[in-house]
Structures are given as structure tokens and as C-alpha cells.
Structure 1
Amino acid sequence: MMTILRTIFILTLVLTSGYNSFSQKKKKKKKPQVNIERVQFLTDEEKVEVDHYFLEGEKYFLLQDFSKAMTAFQKVLDLDPKNAAAHYKIGQIYSENNDMNKALPHAIFAKNYNPKNKYYYLLVTHVQTSLGDLNAAEKTYAEMLANVSGTENYLFELAAVQLYQKKYDAALASYQSAEDHFGPMEEITIQKQQIYLKTNRLDLAIHEGKQLVDLYPNEPSHALSLAQMMLSNDKYEEAEQFILSKVDHYQNNERLYIFLSEAYGKQKKYAKAIEVLEVPFASTTLDLTRKIRTMAGYLAMLPNEELNEPLLRLSEKLVETHPNSYQALAMTGDLYYNINNRPKGREYYLKAVEIDGSNYNIWQNILSLDLEMEDYDAVIEHSEKAIENFPNQATLYYFGGTAYLIKKDYENALKTFNAGKAYAARDANMKSLFHGQLGDAYNSIGDHNKSDEAYEIALDAKPDNDHVLNNYSYFLSLRKKDLDKAFEMSSKLVRDYPENSTYLDTHAWVLYMMGDFQGAEKNLKQALLYEPSATIIEHYGDALFQLGKIDEAIIQWKTARDMAEDTTTLDKKIADKQLYE
């Protein structure tokens, strides 16, 4: 209890200082600073009562019994209506109860009665800001700063209120006053810098940023903020020069090198931009995803002789720093792929799936490279491994089945395509691709009924599947079956692809089988303008022979023989001057 009473006594001395100050002014016969009534004279007995009730109010206020505290302070005002300290405490109680409209007149009365007490001003500003009257709060802060010495630290609150009202020049003046009083400070410089940015005075903002860097030379965050500001405002050359002046001081600061790389990149100095990334890429603290995203930005520029080597060194640094990251290995695979080093790209993709085989896109990249490199054994091996991870992905079965088909392992091709076609059923394009390959495989083993059935399903799913239209019509022509249907399909092909030599050859052969040798000759001659092959040239010779142009036919057969791998039939045709189909 002694502690509470002692605290109350001390607070009373502070809060009632307004009364004493007024009395001193009265004795010195100075004019009051505010236009209010003079305090009534109290008897000694009344003064004792005032002190008693005030102490009671303070006690209950400290105990947060605001109802009893209010009663006590109101009794003080009954005896002494001009008691500034009591008005202040009543204002505080209303404020604590969030009744700001009732708090405001008491707070203002206390402040006006004793314009030298900063706590009275602060209560007024608190109530005014709570009521949203920031303009009034600004004036109250300014009044306090003018009337109460030692309150210069509230220049920051004044500036904050001005900033909230977007009175930027007024806020700048307040911060400048604070700087004049306290000297250069981090908070002041940062706030001035932000105001300059908001008001599009970039040069002044940069100037403040440089001052901040000079004031705190061992704090890299300020240099980083300034560099970022320059970059964000397209000051790329200035950012480059500033960062270069600081990289030795902030050695191995990875973010600074990233900003330097950005400055170079924005100026299209791409090789330099990549080279300076070696420092952050060697760091294990920099987020791997960010490194990969940065590298990915350069892949679209490849191949590029200027960038190939710097990017390869960067990728080596990436893998060296993150040897167990499948993302780092896959990104390196992407890099090699984009500089046309397919084997090396596949090597890194394979390393990536050894660590984590759960990324479907990497498996697709591997299989695409296998096919591109015509490594069909690898296609089969890798598609099977991929299917272990993704058994419901139709594309994987398509890769594997196609490799078997190319290797003429028709049994496994059919097995693979039939296993995967169920997963392709919902996608019309994929369904057509699967059944097109099934048609080829069945045709190769002589099961023409299943082959035709598969082709029909493929065309039903995708009527413009040019691969199926070509093979189906060609195989029908070889069997001299449904030639009208074959003609319809091959005619569509040459309409849609008038410069495709393979499709022109197919259409010509359908015409040939229908006995239209002139039509066949015409289309074959057209095909020879684009991509002449041994087969097309041989077919052209056959058409010429049927038209009675024997010598011309033999010339074409000889040309075909020089290009063909198997010349048995051509040799007989040439030797016997006779057709063998």
C-alpha cells in the first residue's frame, strides 16, 4: 500500500504542476497565455479536500477502477472547476473507455490552462488522431513544439501525421528540423528518401541514399536499398557504377552481385551479367529456386557464342554448390540442350532422375532426346523406367511403342501400344496417335483387318491425322483394296500439303494402282521438285514405263539404284527392261 501511495504522491506533483505554474505566473504578474477564467481562491480546508479526492482518484485510476476514479476527480472539479490535472485525468479515463468525444474537451481544457505541460498536449493529440482529425492533431503537435521546450523528439510524430495527410513538404520541413536538432539520423534520412520517391524527386532520394551509406558504411542493407532503388527507376548505368564502388567493401555480398548482374543485364551486357553471378551461385544461403529462375531467363537467348561458356561455368558452379539437387542437374541439362549438346543434356537429365524420378517433364525431355538421337534402345529402357513412376501417362507408352515399332519388334510394339491406349482414350489427338501406330504395327505383321480397324478408329478420333491418311491410303493401294477410299484420303493429303513429297508419292501410287498413269506421272514429277528419294524416283520410273517411255524409265531406275540400300528389284528392272512390282 505504501508503494501505491508513494506513486500517487509523485504523480500528483507532476500533474498538479499546472496549478503551481499558474500561481507563479500570477505572482510575477505575467499575462496568461490562454484566454480562460482565473482560478477561484480556495480555503485551506478546500485545498485539503482537493488533494484528498485527487489522491483517491489516482489510486483508483492505478487500480483501473475507472468508475470510482471518475467520481473522485469529479469531486475535485466540484471544488475547483479549473483544476487542469483533474480535467486531464477525466480525459484520460474517457480515452481509456474509448469515449473520445467526451475526452476531447477535458484534454483541451487541461492543455489550454497549462500550455507548458507536454502530457496535456499528448493526450489531446491522441484523442484527435483517434477521432481522425489529423489536421487538428498536426496543429496541436506544432503548438506543443512551440510552447514546451525539450519536446523536439515529437517532431517525428508531427511528421508522421503530416505524411498521413500527404503533406509531403510540411513533413520534409519537420524532418529537417529534427535533423537540425539531433543531427543526421538513419530514421530521418530514410523518411526523407521515401518522401522524395513519393514526390518523384528521384535525384534527391538517391542523394539521401548515398548519405545513408556514408553514415553507416558497415551496414550493407543501405547500399542494397540504394542499388535496388536505382534499378527500379531505370538508373542502370548509375547503379552499375555505384555497386562497383562497393563490391570490394562488402565482399561476397551475394545480393549486391545479383543487383550488379541485373544492372549489366538491363544494359544488354549479358556476358558480364552472367559472370558476376558466380559469387551468389557459389553461396549455399541463396535460394536455389532463385538461382534456377535466373538461369532460366537466359536459356531463351541460346545458342549464343558469347553466352555459352559463361553459362556453362555458371551451371558448373550451380551443380558444385547443390550436387544433390535434381533441379540444379535438370537446369544444367536444359542448358546443354539449348546449346545443342544433346548427349550432355541427356546425361544431366539422367543424373537428375536418379536423384528424384518424380518430375514427369524431365522424363519427357530424356525420351525426346533419345528419339532425336535415334537411340531406340534407350527410348525403350527409359520409357519403362518412367512408366514405373507414372503408370497412367499415355505419352510414355507411345514413346516406348514407337521405339519398338522402329526396331521392327512388332510384338512388343503392339503390347506396349495396347497397354497404353486406355490412358489415351480421353484425348482425341493422343487416341488417334495410338491407333495410328497400332495400324502400322498390325499392317507390318500382315493382320490387315486389325490394321484397317485401328486406322478407322484413329481417323474417327482425328479425321485430319495426316500420318494415318498417308499410311492407310498407301497400304490400301498396295493391296489394291478400297481404292476409291484410298483416293479420297490421299487427295485430301495433297490438298492440305501440296509441297510434301511423301504425300504426293502416296497419291501418285494410288492413281497408279487405279490405272491413271498420267496422273501418277504428274504427281511424281511434282514430288521430285521437293525431296526426291530412291522410292519416289523408282515410282516415277514405273509410271514412265507404263506410259511406254522405256528409256526414260530405265534412266530413273538407275538413278534410284544409286540412292537405294536394297537394289535387287531395281537391278532386275534395269537388266530385263521389265516391271517387277
Structure 2
Amino acid sequence: MKRLKVLLLMLLGSASALFAQKPAVPLADTAMIKVLFFAGLRDKLNEDYSRANESFNKILQLDPKNAAVYYEIAIVNYRQNNLYEAEMAIKKATALETNNTWYWMLMAELYKRKGDMNAMAGVLNQLIRLSPDKPDYYFDRSNAYLMAGKTAEAMKGYDELEKKFGASDELARARRRVTSGGKINASAEEERNEERGKSELTAVEQTMLLGESLYKKGDLPGALAQFKTVLEGEEHPYRAWEQALNIQLLLKHYKEAIKTAEAALDIYPNQAILYYFMALALHQDNQNSLALPHVKSALQLDADNGIYLELYGDVLFVNGDKERAVVEWKKAKAAGNGSEKLNKKIYERKYLE
């Protein structure tokens, strides 16, 4: 199963990408609240978190049940590593709006940073409730249980995943990672003898697993080294290309990402995300004329992807086609991409880094 790990790419990898996807939430219809809210957003974008927090808290004095404002306060505190304050704020947001996916995703990211895998698994249950057809959430919930030492719960999660989506190679590998480690209450020697030879991980799988582990811990250079080791061997699994590209972009290694994307596309020419990564790397490297055909290719394969549409607008704007850029940004918003930056691009009709 070739999946984009929506949560792990955005949730276990890049927090900034997650925060860029907050949907617009109606505010109380008062001029003062609107003024304060946009002032807070402006200050947050400028990383003046103290002033942003001041504006958001003033709104709560006027409208104490404003879930969107609690969400913004959670982000402001998260970015300053004030994890307790961030947790209290996002809990209030989810209590006020229990069906807002983006609030739960931020809470999951918060618990990931704190290392509270039990709490993270509980949040993933909420995400599964809201989006039951996304296999990523089921995988991530089992991974959270594994990191919490709850192998039985992890295996139950895999069983639920197979029942709903069917068997897959990735699911089989995930189960092997659990069973090869032994059962907590079983004899370690008996478990090793039973599993040895039939479910041991290959060298490539071990390297991939180490890369994923380092990635989740925030060691991006270390994780990248593991994925590059895999790609330098005889096997070239798709996941290794995807993760290597994701990390290179996070590390702002744009020229290296361009080379990686070229090699990946030679093997997997029908993967929209690879064209997107190529276009993003070229855009960030100020090669926007070359970025344009690649983002178009991504949209040919996934026409309704709001992230791709926003990048298309960005590239058009930088290339001088400003009117069409605004049109594409509006399409991105209609497709469900409700980031603050995107809304500001549309409102101010200008490109923002």
C-alpha cells in the first residue's frame, strides 16, 4: 500500500506544516473581536508571540467560548515550548468543538513532543472517529501503542486495520516488527526461537525502521542518513524516497532534494507527491520556471489537492501571473486548505514566504 503518511509526515515530522492547515472558524460577529483576531494572527506570523497571546486573551474576555482562539493560543504556546499551557488551551478547543480534526491533530503533535504515547493513542481514536476511512490514523495509533509498550493494543489495532482495509505488505511488516520483538509475558528464548527465520526483519527493513525511529525522535540528519543508506543499496523502496525528500525539505537542503526527486521520479513517475516535492524544492531554490511544470504534473495526478493548488498559485505569482495565482489560491481554499497564510494571500492578493 503506497500511502502518504498524512499524520506522520505532518504530525511526526513537520509541525510547521500541520499548523499551516487550520480551517477557518467563524468568530463572534463583533468588530473588536475581528480586529483583535487578525492582529493576533499578524503578530504570530511575525513571531511576536507575546503580543499575539495578548490579543487572543483579550478576545476570550469578550467571547470565552471561542474555540478558534484557544487553538491559536495553543499554537503560540507550543511554538515557545510552553507545553502545559498549550495542552490546557487545546483541550478547551476540543471540548468546545469536538469534531474539528485540526484541533485533534495539534493535540496529537503536542503529546508526541511530550512523549505521552498513551494520550496520543487516545487522540488518534478521536481522529479515527472523525475520519474512519484514513488508514494512516490506524497505523499511527498502533505505533503509539508500541512506543508505549502496549503490544496487545497495537496488534488489535492492526487487526482492525486489516478488517477494514484488507491485507497489505506494509501491514504484514508492521506486525513482524511487533512479533520479532517478543511478547512481554512470554519466555524471551522461546519467542526468539519461534520467530527466528520466519519473521526477522531484512537489513533494509531494519535500516528503514531505524530511520523512522530517529525521525520520530526529531533526529532529522540521523534519519536522513539511514534512508540514504537504503537508497544507495540494491533495493529502492518508495517509502525511503518519500521520507528522504521530506527530510531534505525540512532541513532546507533544496539542491539535494532536487537531485533526490529526479532519481525517485525515474523509478516512480506516477506519484503526485514526488512531483510536488520536486516543485517545492525548485520553488524554494528560486527556480520557479522549472517548478511550474512539476507542480502541474502533481495536479494532473491529484487535481483536488489543496496543498498542491496553493503551491501552484505561489509559483504562478512569483512568475508574474498574479491574477491567476489568486484564482488557484481560492481553489486551494475551496479544496479544504484553510491555512492562515493562504487566507492572507487571498485577502491581500500577494505571495507570502
* Fold in common (TM above 0.5): no
Greater C-alpha Rg? 1
TM bucket normalised to smaller: 0.3 to 0.5
| Larger relative contact order, structure 1 or 2 (CA cutoff 8 Å, min sep 6) | 2
Name the TM-score, length of structure 2 as normaliser. 0.42
